[in-house]
Each structure stands twice: as structure tokens, then as C-alpha cells.
Structure 1
Amino acid sequence: MSDLLWFFAISTCLKLLLIPSYHSTDFEVHRNWLALTHSLPLSQWYLDETSPWTLDYPPLFAYFEHFLSIFAFLIDPQIVDLQKGLNYTSNSVIFFQRITVILSDSCLLYGVYRLTKDLDSGKRILIWVLVVWSPMLVIVDHLHFQYNGFLLGILLISLSFLEQGKDLAGGFFFAVLLCFKHLFAVAAPVYFVYLFKHYCWCGLVKGFRRLSVLGAVVVAVFAVAYGPFVYHGQIQQVLRRMFPFGRGLCHAYWAPNFWVFYIVLDKGLAFFLRKLGFAIQTPEASFTGGLVGDSSPFAILPQITPLATFAMVLLALSPCLIKAWRNPQPGMITRWVTYAYTCGFLFGWHVHEKASLHFVIPLAFVAVQSLENARHYFWLSIVSCYSLFPLLFEAQEYPIKVLLLLLHSIITWLAFSAQFTKGEEAKAAARIKKKDEQLKLKGNSSRADKKEGFVIGGVEKSYLVGLLVVEIWSQFLHPLIFGDKLPFVPLMLISIYCGLGIMYSWIWQLRWIIRSPNL
């Protein structure tokens, strides 16, 4: 544990240095949530429209903001002033909110500790490097500004209990997580199938008793979170804020998922049909404008509804759910949850690019299990981190995000090489010995000096080279050639290219799950 604290201390020093740097509108979103939860009675939290940044997270997160607002008021009362505090950017609010994110990362620290405490020291330290020093968390939480580390910590705590066979505690913490942020519900089908089969499927009487206890625990968590709003007759308003389906299928061109290709195909068809003389109208909500669109942005292809995306996510999840039902192994739950969040990212409704954290962070715990998994994680973490680059669009942050990605790539490569080279060399030596024996029988020379190391495949290498080409074009060549014209093209190009990479990762994970034996 002391070593983990050192890792956390080093990352904290970096985060403290980044306090004065750029922050997005999410910074004002959370400041406004501090103000409204402090200034208004609970019955008004989900009704207030003083600011355009209305409260749209589940109640436990609202309670969390209310807790933080107590300390914010003591430091600077204007932080929580609902009227005068709009767009307040004094040093007091900047330091306060930045430090609350850093302190809330202690939840992530505990989750990492719980999930790694039974591993050998090599794997444990490797996971600490991958998670505690994650450049994605630094970019999203400590530059752009959010509390993903805190929320992912709750997820890791839940997974740690499930891997230990403590299903009731694992289900409890997942229910808590859903009441903090409902977007984690993508993994709910995996949790349901796994807990029902692993915890409740044990005879009629005992199984019914366990199902009742598990149901009571989940209901109790939701009752604590939502009960006050049910009492005030506001549950419909709360749900309306949490599920604003009118925001449209995609978050502009940002999330590199399946729907990016659907949008590009629709625009391509519309362009060629106009050239052929067809009267094709351009939808009012343009994805190339970088704005949140409405629910009907397509000119040619069928409109996509939230129900359709829900069905696609479930369909993509089905192989994983079948595996979880046939043989609910505790050691597989983290991989299944990772796959679930990959499916949700690719096929979900109005997915933000930041949601890639939901599968990259848990995947770090899978990466240490084998060399094949390590290679996949190394490649995917680079792709996912690069897909977040458009979040930091100001020039002064460009060296920071590039340096973070480069350091991550180098450190991860060295860490994986140190972890797997020794084991792989032992396996290679056994293969070489066998090969030598065969060669001696044929009178050929020995190849015993051949060794294997941590390398990635040709396809992955070529893709990473393409990633560099995309960045050179987007950052340097496009502005040089086109100036201020077609400003959406670099963003679209990044989304499409990273979308290809994450689709490739999803296929890789799906193939692994289908081929994995039911032990």
C-alpha cells in the first residue's frame, strides 16, 4: 500500500501543477451545481434554470455536490451564490474545485488497491502505473474538468468484491454507482445475469431468499437516492433531466463510435444525390457545426431512435451475457464489464468521447493477465487517449496533451516489456529447445539466440503510424492549407480514424469472448 501511495503522490503533484490550466464549460456546470444545491431546497434542485447548466446527474451526485458546497461556502461564499456566482472564475473557485477532484481520486486509489491486493507485486505495480498515472484521467478530470476518477473508483470497488465472491457487496456498490451517474448502467445487464446465476441460482428456497436480499439492497440504495424526490412529486422531472433524448444521436463529431460512420455515409449519399440533381434538404441540426443536434439530423438514411440504439447495445452484449449465464466466473467479471462499456460506447445514444474511460480503465486490470491482452491494451489506450485531444483545443494545452500521451506510451511499453519479457523468454526458450532438437535431427544449425519481447502486430503498428499522419494533418497542414475554412474537417477526421480503431478493439474483444472456453 505504501508504494501505491507514492504513485498517487507523484500523480497528485502533476495535478497540482495543472490547476491554473484550461478548463471547459464543465467547470462552470459543476460550480453551478454547487450553488443550486447549497442555495435552494432539495425540492427545487431539478427545477432550477438560473443557468443553462442545469442539474442532470442522479441524486447521489447532487448530494455529493451539496456536501462540497458546505466547504465552498466557508472558503468563498460567492462560489455558491446562485445569482452573482454565474461564470465566477476567481482563484478561490478554481483552486477549490480542482482540489476537490484531486481529493475525490482517493476513491479511485482505494478501488485500485482492493482490486490488486491479491496479485503478485509485478502485476500490482503495473496496474498502478496504468491507472493512477492514466493520461486520460488527467486530460478529462484535471484539465477539462470532471469527477470520473471518483466514479470509476466506485466501479473498481464493486468489481473487487465480485472477484472475491462477495456478490452482495459488489451489487450494492454498483447500485450506488448508478445513483451517482446513470451512464454506467450499460453494464447493468452483465451485472444482472452474473449475479442472478452466480449468487441467486442455488435452489428454489435459498435462491429466492438470496434474490430477495439482493433486491432489497438495490431497492434500499435507490430509495435513499430518489425517495426525497418521489416524496416531493418530482421523480418525472428528475428522470427528464437525466435522460434528455432530444439532444440527438451524437455529440457533434466527437465520440469516435459506430454512428460517426453512419453520419458520414448519410452526408456522402446526400452530397452525391445533390450532384445528380436530386433536391436533398440539409437538416437543421448539422453535425459539422460542433453543436448538440436534435433527434432527426439525417437527410437520406433512416432516423435512429434511442430504442434502436438500446437494441443494438443489447445485441452486441448478447455473446457476453450468454457466457456470463453459462459459467459466471468471478475472474471474468472485469473483462465482461469492460466489453459492456465498449459496446455502450460504440452503439449508445448521444455518447461523449469521455466515456472511453469506462472501458480503458477496467481494461488495465485485464491487460496484466497475458501478453496478448497487454498488447491490445497498449494499442487501445493510445487510440483512446488521442481521441480526447479535441477536448483541449487551446494552443497552450497542446504540449501538455502531447507530452502526456508520449510519456504514457513510453512508460507503458517499458512496464509491459519488464513484466512479460521474462515469462515470454522462458516460453520461447522451451520452444527454441524443441526446435533445436528437430533441427539437429535434420542436421541444421541452431537458432537458440532468438528471443521474443513485447511487440505489437503489423496492423496495430500501421494504424499508429496513421494516427501520427492524422495529427500532423489536423494540427499543422490543414490550417496551413485551408486557413479558417472547413474547421470541422480535422475533428471529423480524428473521430473517423479513432472510430476505426475502437471498432477494431471491439471486434478483438468480441472474438476473445466468443472463443474463451466455459471452464
Structure 2
Amino acid sequence: MPKKKPAKHSGDDDITIPVSPQTGSSDTWWWLAHKGTTTSFLCISLFALLIRSAVSMYPYSGAGIPPKFGDFEAQRHWMEITTNIPVIDWYRNGTYNDLTYWGLDYPPLTAYQSYIHGIFLQIFNPESVALLSSRGHESYLGKLLMRWTVLASDVLIFFPAALFFVLVYHRNRIRSGKSEVAWHIAVILLNPCLILIDHGHFQYNCISLGLTVGAIAAVLCESEVLTCVLFSLALSHKQMSAYFAPAFFSHLLGKCLRRKSPVLSVIKLGTAVIVTFVIVWWPYLHSLDDFLMVLSRLAPFERGIYEDYVANFWCTTSILIKWKKLFTTPSLKSISSAATVLASLPSMVQQILSPSNEGFLYGLLNSSMAFYMFSFQVHEKSILMPFLSATLLALKLLNISVI
């Protein structure tokens, strides 16, 4: 039996994290299974699923409104495309893939996810993903099956990532209250912004955010190769995950520079990133034209520097400064890029010079907020990125240290 390390702690429902006699470190999985955390996690997860299910029963934006029927139709259409035409044509305009009608505009991992979900719909409701004839399909069964795919994505990716983060977050505490652990899990799983966007408006942000949370947890437990793989997958699912890239890059670089062989450390992590991207992007790496075709779909510069309804710097100040009239699109790209880099720079420099877990979490908030406020062409749902970072930092209000 593992030995328990005694320590004084004030609070109710204290639990002791056992320390392995072989390694001297806490065995968090033993603690999870034997100290009631499993029950708390399952109860909170069931409640979180109930909330998600309740939200999904309400109408989504664009329902029954032609010609495009809202984001629900976009997700359904991607399932239609990926299950009916060759992978090389998923991003190419053609007879069966009109890019002006909800063309794919996310990286390949989103397309693969759409393919998997599309196969599920094909089995139980084939008319919902029939090529061309399914446009605007809004049958009860079709909507129910699609709602299930979002719930399944949450349960399989975001929920385990949240648990992984909480366990790692507590790992270096000798004693911790079960109520604190439960609150930490609840704060992440009951994120109202994510629930409303994914299960109300209809999206699959839980996948990229779950991969990002997993990468953050891997940083805290010093599994750096796993960090690179998970974050590369997040980037390959939603390009908005790049909002976190400065924080990951600066923290990992800062840690590599403090090792005996910094160059080898950088090469190892770089290899993990390259291999992951090559595997995910492989169908589009055989031709430069195919690769550039996908990239062109991910960066819609023609939409302008900002969209309406996005409360970032460019949209807010446009009341006084008519950015689109005063500057050309190339100039605005340069200005917004410079502003984003400058806003991200303080936390990046701090983490390169003195990397720490706490500083890394603050860096995530700083870089994601910098991108949301100053980058080119910000979508309203991009607020999920800084909101996730703020949610993870909010746990510090319960006086839990990640150091």
C-alpha cells in the first residue's frame, strides 16, 4: 500500500494524496479511484450533460431560414461532402462541392471529424447526408443524431481533458479538499459560453478546446512531447487554437533553453510537431497547389479586418476611425499583426526568461486575449479562447497553486 504523507490543512472533506514509495511522487490515479473523486466527477459530468441536453432542445440560429439555414446546416453539409466525395476534393470548388455554400473553412482534422460523424448519420439517417438533395435537411431524427454527435465529442474529448487538467493541477498539493476538486471540475465542465455555442448555436469547439486543455495539463505534468502532439492536433482542428501558440511556444522554448542540450530538446519537440502535422495533413501534401488551396480556405482575408458584433479593438474603434476606408487590406494585415505581437510579447519574454506553470497560465490568457483584441478577422466565437484561459485561471481564486 502507498504511504500517505501527513500535512496540516484547514477545510472540510480533506483528502490525502498518497505518495508512491517507489517514486516519491503522488499517484493521482490511485487517489482518484479511492478517495471519492470518481463519484464527484461522474455526478458533475451527468449534470453537465443534462444542461447540454436541455440547451440543445431549443431552436438554433438559422433554423428554417433559407438559403443557408445557419451553422447547423454548415456542420451537416460538411458531413455530406466528406462522406460523398474524395478527400482531395473536400476543399476544392466543383460540381458537387460549391464552396459558396458552406465550403469547408477549417483544417483537415475538422474534415475528418465531419467524416466520422457523417458515417454515423449515413447509417441511421442516410437522407440527412445525401449528396446535394440533403441541403437544408432539418428532420427531427437528423437533428437528434447531430446533437448526439456533439454530446459524444464533449464526453470523449473535453470531459476527460478537464479531469486530466484538474488532477495535474492538484498533483503537487499534499492535501486537498474533495469539495475544491469538485468545484474545479464544475467550473470547467459548466462553462456557459462553450455550452451555448456548441449545443445551442451548434458547433464542435469542444474538440479543439479539449485537445488544448489536454495540452495544458501535459505542460503542467512536464510531458512536453505529448503537449506538442495535442496542441498540434488542436491547431489542425480549429485554426483559432493559434491564439494560444505564443504561450506554448515561449514556455516550451524557455524550458528547453535551461537544459544541458537545448538544441536537442528543441529538435525533439519540433519533430513531434512536424510528424503530427504531416500525419493530419498528408492527403494535401502531395501537391503544393492542394496545400495552398486548403490554406486559402483557412484565412478569409477578403472579409475585412473585423466582422460585425465582435467587441474587439478594431470593431469598437471603427465608430471613430474608419479603418477599412483609411487603410488597404494589406496594410491592415500588417498593422493588426504588429499589434497582436506587441500585446503578446510581455508574457512571451517572461516565459522565455523564467518559465513557470503559473506564468504559463497567465501567458495563455494574455496571448489569447491579444489575438481576440487585435488580430485580423476575428469571429465572435473566438471569445471561447480567452474565456477558456480565464476559466483555468479562475481556479486560483480557490487558492490552489499550480507550482
TM-score (norm 2): 0.80
Shift of 1:83: 0.6
Unmatched 5+ residue regions in structure 2? Answer: 1-37, 62-69, 171-175
Q: Over alpha carbons, which structure has the higher Rg?
A: 1
Shift of 1:3: 1.0
CA distance in 2, matches of 1:29, 1:261: 28
User: 1:320–1:336: 8 Å Cα contact kept in structure 2?
Assistant: yes
Aligned: 1:154 with 2:211: yes
Match of 2:128 among 73, 79, 90: 79
Aligned to 1:289: none
Paired residue type of 2:44: F
Shift of 1:115: 1.0
Aligned to 1:38: 83
Deviations 1:227-286 (A, max 9, x none): 21121540111000011111111111x11111123210036xxxxxxxxxxxxxxxxxxx
Aligned: 1:116 with 2:153: no
Aligned to 1:11: 48
Paired residue type of 1:5: L
Q: Secondary structure at the match of 2:83?
A: helix
Shift of 1:165: 1.5
Aligned: 1:89 with 2:151: no
CA distance in 2, matches of 1:256, 1:7: 32
Paired residue type of 1:144: H
Aligned: 1:310 with 2:360: no
More displaced, 18-27 or 102-111? 18-27
Shift of 1:335: 2.0
Write out aligned runs for 1:171-186 (5 A).
Answer: 171-186=228-243
CA distance in 1, matches of 2:147, 2:321: 41
Shift of 1:97: 1.2
Aligned to 1:266: 321
User: 2:71–2:203: 8 Å Cα contact kept in structure 1?
Assistant: yes
Deviations 1:58-99 (A, max 9, x none): 011111111111111001112221210101101122111111
CA distance in 2, matches of 1:101, 1:147: 6
Kindly tell me the number of residue pairs found equivalent between the two proteins. Answer: 342
Question: Which consecutive aligned stretches of 4+ in structure 1 deviate over 6 angstroms post-superposition?
Answer: none
Aligned: 1:247 with 2:296: no
Q: Secondary structure at the match of 2:276?
A: helix
Paired residue type of 1:4: F
C-alpha root-mean-square deviation of aligned residues, in Å?
A: 2.0
Shift of 1:186: 2.2
User: 1:127–1:364: 8 Å Cα contact kept in structure 2?
Assistant: no
Aligned to 2:193: 136
Paired residue type of 2:218: F
CA distance in 1, matches of 2:124, 2:269: 42
Shift of 1:333: 1.6
Aligned-pair identity in percent equals 23
CA distance in 2, matches of 1:221, 1:307: 30
Aligned: 1:236 with 2:236: no
CA distance in 1, matches of 2:231, 2:370: 18
User: 2:372–2:378: 8 Å Cα contact kept in structure 1?
Assistant: yes
CA distance in 2, matches of 1:124, 1:147: 26
Q: Secondary structure at the match of 2:355?
A: coil
Aligned to 2:389: 362
Match of 1:20 among 34, 54, 57: 57
Shift of 1:38: 0.4
User: 2:243–2:385: 8 Å Cα contact kept in structure 1?
Assistant: no
Q: Secondary structure at the match of 1:368?
A: helix
Shift of 1:200: 4.9
Paired residue type of 1:39: N
User: 1:105–1:150: 8 Å Cα contact kept in structure 2?
Assistant: yes
User: 2:347–2:362: 8 Å Cα contact kept in structure 1?
Assistant: no
CA distance in 2, matches of 1:165, 1:146: 31
Aligned to 2:18: none
Paired residue type of 1:3: S
TM-score (norm 1): 0.63
Shift of 1:302: 7.4
Deviations 1:380-415 (A, max 9, x none): xxxxxxxxxxxxxxxxxxxxxxxxxxxxxxxxxxxx
Aligned: 1:328 with 2:385: no
Deviations 1:13-49 (A, max 9, x none): 2222333322231111110100100000011000144
CA distance in 2, matches of 1:364, 1:123: 15
Match of 2:247 among 181, 187, 190: 190
User: 2:108–2:280: 8 Å Cα contact kept in structure 1?
Assistant: yes
The verdict on how the C-alpha distance between 1:243 and 1:96 changes in structure 2, with shifts beyond 3 A counting, is same
CA distance in 2, matches of 1:223, 1:329: 30
User: 1:123–1:368: 8 Å Cα contact kept in structure 2?
Assistant: no
Match of 1:345 among 365, 369, 372: 372
Deviations 1:106-133 (A, max 9, x none): 2111111111114233432222222211
CA distance in 2, matches of 1:109, 1:19: 18
Shift of 1:12: 1.2
Aligned to 1:373: none
Aligned to 2:267: 212
CA distance in 1, matches of 2:328, 2:286: 41
CA distance in 1, matches of 2:328, 2:180: 48
Aligned to 1:399: none
User: 1:59–1:226: 8 Å Cα contact kept in structure 2?
Assistant: yes
